[in-house]
A and B are shown apart, each in its own frame.
Chain A
Amino acid sequence: MAEVSFKGVKKSYGRVDVVKGVDIHINDGEFVVFIGPSGCGKSTLLRMIAGLEDITEGTLEIGGRVVNELQPKERGVAMVFQSYAIFPHMTVRENMAFGLTIAGASKPEKEQKVAEAARILQMEHLLDRRPSQLSGGQRQRVAIGRAITRKPAVFLFDEPLSNLDAALRMDMRMEIGRLRRQLGATMIYVTHDQVEAMTLADRIVVLKDGEVMQIGAPMELYHEPANRFVAGFLGAPSMNFLIVDILDLDGEAATVGNQSLEPIRVATRSRPFRKGGKAILGIRPQYLREAPSGKGMLHGTVALAERLGSETVVDLMLRDDRELIAAFDEDKIFEPGDALELIFDTALAHLFPEDG
C-alpha cells in the first residue's frame, strides 16, 4: 500500500504562504504529475513527501500512516533530483547501493539488487565508473538506479529531465514511462514541462500560487479545463483568450461576440455569467480552420506565419487589434497582411468569467 494523501496541507515561511491548504489523494501505483509555473509550490509539496520540508498545517499520509513528524528514512520514499545528486566520491555501483549500505544490507543482497537495477536501466557496463566519467543522461540513470535498488513504496521525481538536452530528454522520458510499467510503484513527478506531464501522467495536478487549480487525467484537463489558468497552461501553442460581450444568456449556453467575432453560442458549463457583461472565450489554436471568404466567424489579417513543415502557425491581428494564434496541421503559405477568416467548432470553445 502506498497511497499518498495531502489533507489541508499548508506551508509557510514566516508570513509567506507557499502552499495554501492542499487536498490531494494519490492512489497506490498511480503516476501523478505536479505541474505549474515557478513558485507554485510543486517542488515544496514533493519535498514535504520526502520529509525535507516541515508541514506547517494539515496532515500528510503515506500508505495510510500520518508521516508529518517522521524522518525521511522512515517514509519509504526515494527521490530523484534535478541535479542528479549522485555522490562524486563513489562509483556508480556504490552510488546505487548507497541506500542499501545505510540500511545494513549484506554484500550479496547489494550485488543482486544493484545488478537488477543496472539491467533495468541498461547500464551494467558503467558500474565501476565514477560520476565524472558519465554523461548527463547516464548520471540521471544512476540517480534513478539508486532509487530503484531500495524498492521504495513511492518514487519522487523533482524535475529530473530539466538539465538534459532535448533529444536526451525524450529518451529519458520514454525510459521513465517504461520503468513505471515495470515497477508499478506510486510515482509523483514534478515538472514545468507539459509534454512530460501529458505523456507520463495518469493524473495531473495543476498548481498556481500554492493552490490546486485542477486535478484530472491529462486529456480531461486538456479538453475540460476548470478555469482559464489551466486552459492556458496546458497545450502548445497556448489557448487563445478573447474578451467577448455576452449578448444573450439562456440556460446552458451564452451567445457571445465582439468586433472580430460573429455572434456564436457557447456552452456556459454552469459557470456564472451576466447578460450584457464581458466574458473570456478560449479557443485552442489547433481548433481553428480557414474559412471561405464571407463565411468566417473570426476576421483578421496575418501578422506572421511560421512554416514548420507538418504544421503552420499563424499570428493573426484581429479587427479589434488583439492577437490570435492559429495552428493548421498542414503546410500553408501566408504573407503578412493577407486577410484571413477562421471558423471553429463552438462545442470545443470555452467560456470563462472575466475574472478567471
Chain B
Amino acid sequence: MVINPDNYGLRLFVRYLVLCLIALIFIFPLVFMINSSFKPDSQLLADTSSLRAFLPVGDISLDNYFGAFQRAPVGLFVFNSVLVTGMTVVLSLLICSLAAFSFTFLRWKGRDVMLSIVIATLIIPFEIIAIPLLLLVSKLPWIGLNGLELGWLNTYRVQIIPWIADGLTIFLFVQYFKGLPGELIEASRVEGASWWQVYYRVVMPLSGPVLATAAILKFLVMYNQYLWPLIVVQQENHRPVMVGLGYFFQLNVAWGEVMAYLTLITVPVLIFYLFLQRAFIASIASTGVKG
C-alpha cells in the first residue's frame, strides 16, 4: 500500500496505530499481572497458553490477596518502601538542586574540577561500591534517641542517606539551571536577593520540569531497590517491598499470591506517577515565557 503523504487522516491513523501497538506491548504484562492476581494457581497456569490470561474470566476471587497478607507483612513493606523512597526523593531534590545551584551560579575555586568528578561518578556501577559502602555504614556512628550508636545496619537511614546525592540528579539540575536566562539571576541579585533567596524565590519556582523529572527517576530507583536493602537490612521491620518479594519464593511458590503482591506494590508507583504528571504539565505551562 502506498501512503499518500498529503493524506493527513491516513497518516494520523497509522501514527495512532503504531502508538497503540507500542502501548499494548507495555500494558500486556500489567494486565496479565492484575488478572492473574484474582485467579487460583491451577487456572492461572492453564490460562497462560491462551488469551484468557489477559481477561478476568473463570474462578475470580480475592483469595490471593488474603493469602499474600498472610504470607508476608505487605502493609509494612509498602510503608517502609514509601517512607524510604519519599524521604530520599525529597532530600535528594533539595540537596542535589542546592549542589547544582552552587555548580552553576556561584564562583568558587575548583568548581569545574569538582563538577567533573561528580559527573564521572555516573560511570561507576553501584555493585562495585556496595561492599565498601556496607563496611562504611556498618561502623558509622549515629546520635539518635538512644544516644550514641555505632553502625547503621537495620535502619531506615541506611537505606536513605547513601542515596540522597547522586551524580545523575546533580547533572540533570546543572543542565537545566544552565538553560535558565542568566539575566533573571542577575536581576534578582541587583534587586537585593541573597543567593539563598535567588535559589528559593527565582530558580526553584522555575524548575518544575527538572524537579518532576528528577523526582520520577529517583522514585523508580529507590522503589526498586533490592541489592542494597538485602545486604543492610536483616530484620523484617525495615525491609522494603522488593526484598519482601523473597517471602513468596520460599518452598512452594503460589503464583497467584505473587501476582497479588506485585499488584499491591505497584499501586504507590501509579499514584506517584499520576500525581507528578499533573505537576509536570502545570510547571511547563507556567514557565513558557520568553522575553
Contacts and interface: CB of A to CB of B under 8 A. Distances in A.
Nearest to A75: B190
Interface in A69-102: 71-73, 77-79, 81-89, 98-99, 102
B249 to A, nearest CB: 50
Interface residues of A, number: 32
A178 B216 CA distance: 52
A113 interface: no
B189 interface: yes
Which of A83, A89, A103 has most B Cβ within 10 Å? Answer: A89
A51 B183 CA distance: 13
Interface in B182-197: 183-184, 186-194, 197
A89 B286 contact: yes
A87 B288 CA distance: 11
A254 B89 CA distance: 81
Nearest to A136: B291
A163 B291 contact: yes
Nearest to A82: B183
B206 interface: yes
Contacts of A130: 286, 289
Nearest to B286: A89
A132 B197 CA distance: 23
B286 A99 contact: no
Contacts of B144: none
A45 to B, nearest CB: 15
A50 interface: yes
A306 to B, nearest CB: 35
Nearest to A89: B205
A98 B191 contact: yes
A156 B190 CA distance: 10
Given A79-B186, A81-B187, A139-B291, 12 more contacts: A51-B190, A52-B189, A73-B189, A73-B190, A82-B183, A85-B184, A86-B291, A87-B202, A98-B193, A99-B191, A102-B193, A163-B291
7 shortest interchain CB distances as A-B pairs: A88-B289, A73-B192, A85-B187, A85-B183, A99-B191, A83-B291, A89-B205
